[in-house]
Structure 1
Amino acid sequence: MRKVIMWDMVSVDGFFEAPGHNIDWFVFEDELAAYIGESQLEADTLLFGRVTYEMMAAYWPSAEGDIATFMNGVEKFVFSRTLTSANWHRTTLVNGDATKEVERLKHLDGGTIFVFGSADFAAGLIEKGLVDEYRLGINPVLLGNGVPLFKPGTRQTKLRLTHTRPLKSGVVILHYQPETDAS
């Protein structure tokens, strides 16, 4: 079965966006670009909620480089009750039950499925136990305000740290997997 990995850049105080969808505080440098390049090799599907999809679809089609090539070429699904079309190359619009569609995708042959951003959409996946791994790039910044990555009311989930990768920039990449009950 395919894994769903939630991968996000986040501030030390837990925000993945500053007010106004501002993400110019992300630390992006060569070590992070190398990590992203390595992790792209395992993924062949991306999942987005509407807001993140619209931001990504506005940026990546005209961008250049290895990450842009990946983002523009990989299969993408956008989950929205309000969009009527999704025109970014290789994007499927899903207006129906997100849980059922993600469960279906997990059972198909293929590589890893990544969720970028999309905190509202991801909250539903977390609640249903559909996220197999959390990858967080902790940025050395306190925002004080913004959009929290994990929504209030997120169910308590014990996590097991499986990987750490500190970068010279101060970003620390952490991989966590939900612990499963032994009972």
Structure 2
Amino acid sequence: MRKVIMWDMVSVDGFFEAPDHDIGWFVFEDELAAYIGETQLQTGTLLFGRVTYELMAAYWPSAEGDIATFMNGVEKFVFSRTLQSADWNNTTLVSGDAVAEVERLKRLDGGTIFIFGSANFAATLTARGLVDEYRLGINPVLLGKGTPLFQGIPKRTKLRLTHVRPLKSGVTIVHYQPTDA
């Protein structure tokens, strides 16, 4: 069965975006780009909620470089009840039962399934026990307010630390797995 991995950049105080969807505080540098390049090799599918999809689809089609090539070429699913179409290359729009679709995708052959951003969508999958691993890039900043990464989680979920990678920039990459998964 394929694994679902949630990858997000987050502030020390737990926000994945500042007010107005501001992500300009992310520390992005060569070491982080190398990590992303390493982890892309195992990715077969990306999952997005509507808001993150719209932000990504507005940026990546005109971007250049290895990450852009990956983002534009990989299979993508956007989960939304309000979008009418999803025009970014290799994107499928899912307006029905998100949990059932992710369960179906996990059973298919292919690489790892990643969720980027999409806090509300990820919370739904977390509540149903469908996220197999959480990978966070903890940025050395306190935002004070914004959108919390983990909201709407219905119950306590114990996690086991499986990997730590501090970067020279001050970003620390951590991997956690649910202990009951």
- Whether TM exceeds 0.5 here: the answer is yes
Look up the match of 2:106.
106
Look up the match of 1:54.
54
1:154 to partner: Cα distance: 3.9
Q: Secondary structure at the match of 2:144?
A: coil
Equivalent residues, number = 181
Q: What letter is aligned with 1:59? A: Y
1:180 to partner: Cα distance: 1.8
Instruction: After TM superposition, list the pairs within 5 Å mapping 1:65-84 onto structure 2.
Output: 65-84=65-84
Contact 2:158 2:179 in 1 (8 A): yes
Deviation track 1:86-133 (CA, whole Å, cap 9, x = no partner) reads 000000000000000000000000000000000010010000000000
TM, length-normalised to structure 1: 0.98
Alpha-carbon distance in structure 1 between the residues aligned to 2:50 and 2:33: 25
Q: What letter is aligned with 2:46? A: L
Alpha-carbon distance in structure 1 between the residues aligned to 2:27 and 2:89: 27
Look up the match of 1:137.
137
Look up the match of 2:94.
94
Q: Secondary structure at the match of 2:129?
A: coil
Alpha-carbon distance in structure 1 between the residues aligned to 2:150 and 2:180: 20
Alpha-carbon distance in structure 2 between the residues aligned to 1:84 and 1:164: 40
Look up the match of 1:180.
180
Q: What letter is aligned with 2:84? A: T
Deviation track 1:34-70 (CA, whole Å, cap 9, x = no partner) reads 0000000000100000000000000000000000000
Look up the match of 2:147.
147
1:166 aligns with 2:166: yes
Q: Which runs of 5+ in 1 are unaligned?
A: none
Instruction: After TM superposition, list the pairs within 5 Å mapping 1:23-42 onto structure 2.
Output: 23-42=23-42
Q: Secondary structure at the match of 2:121?
A: helix
Q: Which runs of 4+ in 1 moved over 4 A?
A: none
TM, length-normalised to structure 2: 0.99
Q: Which runs of 5+ in 2 are unaligned?
A: none
Q: What letter is aligned with 2:14? A: G
